[in-house]
């Protein structure tokens, strides 16, 4: 039996060419494309402006793979964690984070992760799959709908900070941002999208070469190679010196300010000396720093830094004229906070 083509892997031009190969007019490809990405049809039967005979031809030749919401958990602070089941049966997690001024979707780019950062629950899973561009897009589309229905607020921001390392799924990550920003899509500004990386220098340079318009965040967590090696093995092959050079290149190509994410761990990276090293690293490119409180994970080696130390750390950076935001974690009671996504929901995994 011939395998059907996954229709959402086709570009607009490829889809038009496929329609012509089927003996259809080119405008049919544009119609189908709009149904897939603008109207978000998940079956050919939903494409009601097309004739029944044409829909049957599409169904014979193509398949529409999509994810479904297998489970949804609500935190006491209003955060919602989603278990998204793929057509393969695998599960990834995403989060809707509502705050006073914004509504953010935190989405995944891989099933599992290969980087094994010590403080991250996802890193304790093996890498199982790179998500397709449409599987990343679908997470946003589902959270987008809930933001409007449940919160009566449009989605304002998207962060690629869920499961996986986005730059190790470069092609699909990049395509998904185009789909999200496209008018025949979700029509969101690229400046509302932030892609976070653990730090892969050659791919940060590639982002510069591709002149991406979204924001870049680097999960830094230590501005000292010895300490960063201890918690993030990726640093052994992508040292801070190499990362700094790549970030300079990225900034020269895009003009974009970089965000550094810095989780403060008790008695590890919470001293004023650590803050001084971070301030030195911040001199390479225009940047801001998000200080994040640590969220405990099963078998974790770390604990939260004392609030007084976090405040002193932030105050030191501010004294050096660095823009600093202290991020308070949300969704901790449902394991939805930063670093806690690990597919622990049994209902979704059945």
Stated as kind and residue range, the H or E segment containing 231 is helix 225-231
State mean pLDDT over 124-144.
94
**CA-angle at 207, arms to 252 and 6, nearest 5°:** 160
Model pLDDT, residue 77: 84
Bridge partners, 193 (sequence order)? 158
Strand-strand pairing, 129-130 and 68-74: unpaired
State mean pLDDT over 304-312.
92
Q: Where are the domains of the chain?
A: 5-63, 68-349
Please provide the average confidence, as pLDDT, over all residues in the chain. Answer: 91
Structure tokens at 305: 């830094």
Model pLDDT, residue 299: 61
pLDDT digits (tens, 9 = 90+) for 227-282: 999 999 999 999 999 999 999 999 999 999 999 999 999 999 999 999 999 999 99
pLDDT band, very low/low/confident/very high, at 333 (cuts 50, 70, 90): low
pLDDT band, very low/low/confident/very high, at 212 (cuts 50, 70, 90): very high
Residue 63: DSSP 8-state: E
State mean pLDDT over 326-335.
62
pLDDT digits (tens, 9 = 90+) for 53-91: 999 999 999 999 999 999 999 888 889 999 999 999 999
Q: Do the Cβ atoms of 143 and 158 come closer than 8 Å?
A: no
Model pLDDT, residue 342: 55
Query: Could you confirm whether 287 is annotated as catalytic?
Result: no
If one counts every other C-beta atom within 10 angstroms of the C-beta of residue 191, the result is 12
Query: Could you confirm whether 93 is annotated as catalytic?
Result: yes
**Which residue has better confidence, 33 or 350?**
33
Structure tokens at 22: 């089927």
- For 5-63, the fitting CATH number among 1.10.150.530, 3.90.320.10, 1.10.645.10, 2.60.40.420 is 1.10.150.530
Please determine, for residue 347, whether its predicted confidence score (pLDDT) is greater than 80.
no
pLDDT band, very low/low/confident/very high, at 116 (cuts 50, 70, 90): confident
Question: Domain 68-349, what fold?
Answer: TIM Barrel (3.20.20)
What percent of the chain lies above the pLDDT cut of 90? 80
Which among 135, 12, 22, 4 is positioned nearest to 63, based on CA atoms? 4
Q: How many residues does the chain have?
A: 350
Catalytic residue among 18, 93, 132, 293: 93
Which among 227, 177, 226, 170 is positioned nearest to 202, based on CA atoms? 170
Q: Do the Cβ atoms of 15 and 33 come closer than 8 Å?
A: yes
Lowest mean pLDDT among 47-51, 97-101, 195-199: 97-101
Please determine, for residue 339, whether its predicted confidence score (pLDDT) is greater than 50.
no
For the chain, helix (H) and strand (E) counts, in that order, are 11, 14
Catalytic residue among 106, 113, 287, 338: 338
């Amino acid at each position: 039996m011939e395998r059907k083509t996954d229709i959402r892997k086709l570009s607009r031009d490829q889809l038009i060419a496929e329609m012509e190969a089927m003996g259809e007019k080119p405008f049919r490809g544009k119609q189908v494309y709009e149904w897939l990405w603008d109207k978000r049809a998940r079956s050919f039967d939903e494409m009601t402006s097309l004739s029944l005979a044409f829909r049957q031809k599409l169904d014979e030749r193509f398949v529409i793979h999509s994810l479904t919401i297998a489970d949804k958990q609500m935190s006491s602070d209003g955060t919602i964690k989603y278990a998204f089941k793929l057509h393969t049966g695998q599960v990834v997690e995403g989060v809707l984070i509502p705050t006073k001024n914004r509504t953010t979707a935190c989405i995944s780019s891989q099933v599992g992760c290969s980087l094994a950062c010590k403080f991250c629950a996802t890193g304790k899973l093996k890498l199982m799959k790179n998500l397709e561009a449409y599987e990343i897009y679908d997470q946003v589309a589902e959270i987008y709908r809930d933001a409007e229905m449940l919160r009566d607020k449009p989605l304002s921001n998207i962060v690629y900070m869920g499961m996986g390392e986005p730059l190790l799924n470069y092609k699909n990550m990049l395509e998904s941002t185009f789909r999200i920003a496209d008018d025949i899509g979700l029509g969101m500004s690229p400046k509302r999208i932030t892609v976070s990386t653990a730090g892969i220098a050659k791919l940060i340079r590639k982002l510069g070469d591709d002149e991406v318009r979204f924001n870049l965040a680097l999960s830094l967590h230590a501005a000292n190679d010895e300490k960063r090696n201890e918690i993030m093995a990726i640093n052994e092959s992508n040292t801070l010196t190499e990362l700094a050079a790549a970030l300079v290149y990225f900034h020269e190509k895009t003009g974009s300010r970089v965000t550094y994410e810095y989780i403060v761990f008790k008695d590890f990276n919470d001293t004023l000396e650590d803050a001084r090293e971070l301030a030195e690293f911040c001199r390479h490119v225009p940047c801001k720093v998000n200080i994040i409180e640590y969220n405990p994970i099963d078998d974790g080696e770390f604990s939260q830094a004392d609030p007084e130390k976090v405040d002193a750390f932030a105050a030191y950076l501010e004294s050096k004229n660095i823009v600093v935001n202290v991020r308070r974690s949300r969704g901790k009671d449902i394991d939805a906070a930063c670093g806690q996504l690990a597919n622990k929901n049994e209902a979704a995994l059945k």
